[in-house]
Amino acid sequence: MKRFFIAIFATVLIMFSCTGNKANQTEEVPADSVADSIDTTDVDSMEMLITETPMPRAADAMFDDFLFNFLANKKLQKERIVFPLRVTENGKTTTVEKANWKMEHLFMRQGYYTLLFNDDKQMQLMKDTAVSEAVVEKILLSKNQVKNYVFQRIKGAWLLLEIRVTPLQADANSSFLSFYRRFVTDSAFQVKSLSETVDFVGPDPDDDFNMMEGVITPDTWEAFAPTLPHKTLYNIIYGKPQPEGKQKIYLLRGVANGLEMELRFRKEGGKWLLKKMMT
């Protein structure tokens, strides 16, 4: 693995910031700017393939396998919802009947999704077939709101049991989410939220089979700052929610392509700081 001074290789991150750093925008855009650089053609093709192919029973073993089928297949989605579906918001519970349910695609149509973990151990739960409960969070940063889709695996089959709408402040990741909202919209704050050096690991542009390492310093950050979602995040809680902790792993993943970026933050002296970026 190569080691180098990161400033020499500014082009490495162009794929993640092809429209430039979007912090400090003065106008609201229709969608999160990261979506501007994502071609959703592959996502549409994947949805069509999933819809035309019955979900194998083995897909219920891991929540992610089930979820992609659930979000792309209208017939399957209605079969895997417990109707009348409870929807709780502001302490008031209503129900949705099967005839009134509208297909929910969540992150599928935008071509990418995000995940938040406290540590590597928690991240491994994505592949744990023993997990029998999960929550998909639709985090609306601009509305200060989180929409929780509550799933359980019952008799071997994943089912959507309830939707809960809660204020962002009540979320297990509330401290980090409040920080993140400012991190992606305030360029000056973003620089102040970098560690003295940010470790970087990414593909070697001169060798497709090798990776390279380096460091980014605050004075060179502008050249490398990736374009991140600033309006809506998605998160999946595998198993029971855990206390927030002092570390946060942020993953940005493409739905039907090889896009993946990982940012690692740590809370030091009451402040979240970016410590590492991997692409």
Q: How many structural domains are present in the chain? A: 1
Write down the residue that tokens 């929807």 correspond to: 87
Specify the pLDDT at position 121.
95
- Please give the C-alpha separations between residue 227 and each of 26, 36, 147, 183, in angstroms, as whole numbers: 16, 10, 24, 11
pLDDT of residue 41: 59
Cis bond before residue 205 (omega within 30° of 0): no
- Residues 12-64: tens digit of each pLDDT: 343 344 333 444 443 333 356 554 445 555 555 655 655 656 788 889 999 99
Look at the block and give the residue holding tokens 């989180």. 146
pLDDT for position 72: 92
Over pLDDT 90: what percentage of the chain? Answer: 68
> Residue 221 carries which DSSP code?
G
* 156 φ, ψ (degrees, to nearest 5): 85, 0
Say what the pLDDT of residue 116 is: 97
Could you tell me which residues come within 8 angstroms of residue 96 by beta carbon, excluding any fewer than 6 positions away?
83, 84, 85, 87
pLDDT tens per residue across span 128-173: 999 999 999 999 999 999 999 999 999 999 999 999 999 999 999 9
Give the residue ranges of DSSP H helices in the chain. Answer: 41-52, 63-72, 74-79, 120-123, 174-183, 187-192
pLDDT at site 49? 58
- Domain span at residue 256 reads 2-278
The pLDDT assigned to 17 comes to 41
Please, are residues 215 and 7 in contact by the beta-carbon 8 Å criterion?
no
Query: In whole angstroms, what is the distance from residue 167 CA to residue 127 CA?
Result: 29
Q: Say if CB 72 and CB 46 are below 8 A apart.
A: yes
- Residue partners of 127: CB distance under 8 A and separation at least 6: 62
Residue 185 phi, psi dihedral angles, 5° rounding: -120, -5
- Helix (H) or strand (E) holding 134, with range, is strand 133-140
